[in-house]
């Protein structure tokens, strides 16, 4: 149970978090956003630079390292935020509406990142209303209605369930795998 645990303690427990709203430090560059978090974690200068460089490359944001947070597109901002969340080496990351406010190309990029996180054995929990994209990349899904879990299972099960279609997905819903 972590409901009442402060965010900094959750981070120490190995849980990363990406909020729905923009969380980049707008006046800092992309690289400074990463370095600021690494500095708080107590890394020495050399290790901070190495870790930041690795994340810049891993998330395809090295070319915008000098751009201020307020100048980023939605997709660049999201990649920077995810990279920053990973500075703490979490074993699990919570993504709140990761597809909100980004263009279709950025959505595909975020989906690729989620798959890569899974390949690195980082657990990923996604809350999102963007059903097609979310169901296409998750191993397990939970359908909430009026604050309660009304159904759970893999994506295929939810996509093909008559009640899930009636209550939330819609009768014409089709699951696309990316």
Residue 97 CB neighbour total at 10 angstroms? 16
pLDDT at residue 45 in the model:
93
Q: Which CATH superfamily is domain 7-129 in?
A: P-loop containing nucleotide triphosphate hydrolases (3.40.50.300)
- The residue among 47 and 145 whose pLDDT is bigger is 47
Model confidence band, residue 62 (pLDDT cutoffs 50, 70, 90): very high
Q: Is residue 178's pLDDT more than 60? A: no
pLDDT at residue 21 in the model:
85
pLDDT at residue 80 in the model:
95
The token pair at 23 is: 């969380």
Mean pLDDT of 55-69: 96
For the entire predicted model, the pTM comes to 0.81
What are the residue ranges spanned by the domains of the chain?
Answer: 7-129
């Amino acid at each position: 149970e972590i409901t009442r645990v402060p965010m900094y303690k959750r981070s120490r427990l190995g849980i990363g978090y990406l909020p729905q709203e923009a969380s980049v430090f707008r006046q800092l560059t992309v690289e400074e956003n990463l370095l600021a978090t690494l500095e708080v974690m107590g890394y020495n200068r050399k290790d901070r630079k190495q870790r930041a460089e690795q994340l810049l490359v891993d998330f395809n944001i090295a070319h915008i390292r000098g751009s201020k947070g307020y100048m980023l597109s939605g997709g660049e901002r999201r990649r920077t935020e995810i990279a920053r969340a990973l500075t703490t080496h979490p074993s699990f990351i919570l993504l709140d509406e990761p597809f909100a406010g980004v263009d279709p190309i950025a959505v595909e990029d975020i989906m690729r990142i989620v798959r890569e996180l899974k390949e690195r054995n980082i657990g990923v929990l996604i809350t999102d209303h963007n059903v097609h994209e979310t169901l296409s990349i998750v191993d397990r899904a939970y359908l909430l209605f009026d604050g309660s879990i009304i159904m759970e299972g893999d994506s295929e099960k939810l996509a093909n369930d008559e009640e899930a279609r009636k209550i939330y997905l819609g009768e014409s819903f089709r699951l696309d795998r990316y």
